[in-house]
Structure 1
């Protein structure tokens, strides 16, 4: 079964908790804090495996969660960081955030990696909070929660050349004639419902991957018929082979068919009509094909047209040589950043200054709600059973101006304040 779309949930591992501990050794009467930090949670990483061809595995497993880091230990020993969770995907996988639509990566090379959910850092042990004022802090952080998100995986088949054309023009027959692929062939529309790949041996030491892509219909760029399911795979091909039914078996006009296909490609992505192309004038063994071929050549004198018959093999080898020669002259396209015409700079690290995120205060009935990802993370990492941790939490709120903003919004002694999943009373 060919599956070219999948939606999955991923979550990086939570960081391990820091601990509260003190040195208790003979001859060390005033041993200080010795609680170690927790280990980092594992990342969720997508890795390209060239042995995969579909996203079928994601039909049976849709949730992926990396392991959390180990908790800190005594004697200032840090917890062990968790291993990354590696998820294998086929080459040609495009990754987006399913909730926001944000483009995350285009995975095309074997071994290429993309971190899609980072693990949380480990919480700090009490040894990290010792100061001149408080030399024996009775507090430690919980581990930072790992990132979580829903992903949309979309597979765009990687092939050197792709056969495009209307249904029943003989694309599958042509593929079976030039390769060992055995696609389903029948005399009804949309026999091919998913891409079929075949490796073509040119015979002179060269070879290439040829894709039989599902048939187009008018309006495909707007999603009609197989629509986008077809067109997303055309994007990957370096060379496009237009397969035209020159015998006009179903009463179609070969001249109009070529222009219609070009229009559909252009409206989906204007760059597709700039790709190198050849025309396979198929079904030349049938009556009236020669007459239609002459009219087609007059209409498109600049096109390279190859008369072939997938059924008898006529002209097939000449077409194969022409495709191989054209591929030799066409450089392999690099994966593109979304919305740009330049390859992504995957090897460079770019550091950007990110200003402190402002918080917002809103009312939810009688409750004052403080909205801030940073403060919500602080709540999750604070152990409110520890007195020193509570005091630190209050100091941070005051320093960031949360108390002043709550007073400005009318908060009074005893009012309920909510940050994330935690509620507490306001103390003026």
Structure 2
């Protein structure tokens, strides 16, 4: 049963590398940015005031920006005011935490919700010092990243140990899917410390009703949207295209269009397309304004989400919101969001033949595609609207506020932010 939100609470969302103001599609800008922005807005719609704390990553950013009524973005001076890859931010989290403690000492929020493990380190240090309640969402786990990327994992070596400390030290964990709960249990974090609240989608923006982006006649369109990093599986989509004649693949994301030729991942993918003989059917759009994404989703016959692993994945929800079927890897959050076969198909990660078979069946059956699209729309309306996500998040806050211990250190473990080794 959903608790009735008490108006006027002050909520601090800590998102050290993922600003709600960021342009999406870059290497470190994606689903977390969207999640934090929309969660903040939905909580504000419930009558709360939300401040999002994110690192100052450019020299002339104002200290505070009003994102919308009830939501401010606070730029935290932690490290040099320039872009730093997120895997290199750990040495600056101690400074980030000191800033939070200084700011909250005089005007403490009612509750803190940190996003991503390094935000958790900074927020936990301040929360422990001041005796403030803390909820944490990981968005991604180091154990999963290390398992899939192995030697290519650029995370600090002590990431997993620090993630465990955050998990034991916060008051409650919000996981985004069942797979994450299983991963946390394997890390020794009890399931009763964790509540599942999925990511959401704006069902008034991502809707079947509206313009569709132009597309060539007499050709099917597959669409992949997201960061251009290897684990997102664009090379798999390109390889699968060899078994899909008369079909184009549109890959949206990455640097601005005029910088695509300089991007190493784009060059790698273009070489894959050339080598497999499908270069004339693969097109890269580069990073796009957020407002252009719904029309692009409506223009596609099928949206592909072929990541090697996916902690949650917002693109399937956005596609389903637009009434477009999804073919996604059977991993992470996809296992919860994509109902196979009702809203699309799931396939084994890393298997281009399985991807091609799933797409072929959908392209050959327009009625099936339409049914999947309609079912996907119904699914997001009943489960994944931001108002529902905010209400479920508030339930967790409500429980933590009711049970938060009077002594700030009771039940909390020590965590000391350290330099990356």
**TM-score over 0.5 (shorter chain):** no
The structure with the largest strand share of the pair is: 1
The structure with the largest helix share of the pair is: 2
Structure ranking higher on relative contact order (CA contacts 8 Å, 6+ apart): 2
Q: TM-score, normalised by structure 1?
A: 0.29
Q: TM-score, normalised by structure 2?
A: 0.29
